[in-house]
Chains A and B, each alone.
Chain A
Amino acid sequence: MNQPLIDLRNITKSFDKTVVLDDLNLSVAENTFVTLLGPSGCGKTTTLRIIGGFETADQGQVIFDGEDISKLPPNKRQLNTVFQKYALFTHMNIAENIAFGLKIKGKSRTYIQDKIRYALKLVNLDGYENRSVSSLSGGQQQRIAIARAIVNEPRVLLLDEPLGALDLKLRQDMQYELIRLKNELGITFIYVTHDQEEALTMSDTIVVMNQGYIQQMGTPEQIYNEPENAFVADFIGESNIVPGIMIRDELVEIFGARFACVDKGFGTNRPVDVVIRPEDIDLVEPSAGTLTGVCTHLIFKGVHYEMEVTTPDGFEWLVHSTDLCPVGKEVGIHVDPFDIQIMNKPASEDEEAVGVNE
């Protein structure tokens, strides 16, 4: 990989003695869509604000295109931010909002006019120049906020939960808009969200964070299919996380039953955590299953049924399937080898938090 555009090195930040980020390292390559994903309080917004220059890290460096910008104020950085609550200037009309940054840079009147028209077209709001901010809906306001940021031609666009205040349908539309924008503009997006679906839909790279540490970094597929620890598995989508013992390479024992899997290199007879996604569990005849259990719960969810199958050891398996299994029926559980994900058991809370992708 060539030189990263943004490089966070050993960033540490505390507020009032609460450590929010602890020795965080993160590289962002040019022209990628990177999402910082995690529950509230995990440090994702703080990370973004440190990149934007609104917070300064207690320790560590922010490297932008090979230069240390840790001490630069936000107005001297070549990046722009789209804020969670739009932060439009309500006493200015749309055109004035968009022109704000360009006027400061002393661009010519015609240049600014062209840019405004171009940006409004880009966010599908042509002709809105003279409208007031308050006459726009939430989704439109967010588009204007994006237009206002991108006319400055930043190398990086920082987005802080920009869709958080929109309703579901609008949020989905905007997700596609953002993907399109990123492809058309060819700039780097750093996106903060707590919504895993948003992250999976849009990102090239997802950075899962918790308690100030990066839990895992990878493509959406990697994050979803190969979570590295229980936190990631649990946070991204629904999952069954069960204790198991790695008998040897490609064989794991769960509740006394042996499942074939594809993971290697965990040693022999080692306790591990096993992640199995609810949609990867196949319910079969009891005789054909690796484990057997009784269906104890059934809910119709539209696309699929959600069921709970309780095995004799008392574990309730969450199962998503389009095939119905009535409550009380005995079923067998079968899982294909490549649907089983093995994770190291964390030795302690700290180790659980630190686990970083190589």
Chain B
Amino acid sequence: MSTVAESREKQSAAVVDAPAEFLTFRLGDEEYGVDILKVQEIRGYDSVTRIPDAPDFIKGVINLRGTIVPVVDMRIKFRLGKAEYNEFTVMIILNVSGRVVGMVVDSVSDVMQLGSEQLRPPPDIAGAVSSKFITGIGTLEDRMLILVDIEKLMSSQDMALIESATVQ
């Protein structure tokens, strides 16, 4: 019940045109940002149970306090960085479209607040992530953040995470 209320609160907060907060993470040399309100928690990499018939970037499923959560490795998906798994490997647990998904990235940097003056529209050419999932570019001093619509990305066919996206 509380999660419903929370997520509703989160949604309405996201609509407000105030400075937005982003969790930033690295994939290879690129720095990405996702809406902090979509992030449920950050945790280390657990042992993952493999799933048959899954693309290589879907590492499998983990037990997150009793629910079964799929894990995608963005480094494999976007061929960035080295897909190694050790005690420093981090996983961002996202809550997107009512689903929980774990996302493995190179590293998590920080949480940044960006005002509208720091936001630029997405360029035609973007990073490894297809431009249709990029909502904009955030600048902070000399850092460039690629802002990803993580909800859209995770529900897309590319990720093969949800039913409609699978080829029957």
Interaction A to B = no
B contact set with A: CB distance below 8 Å: none
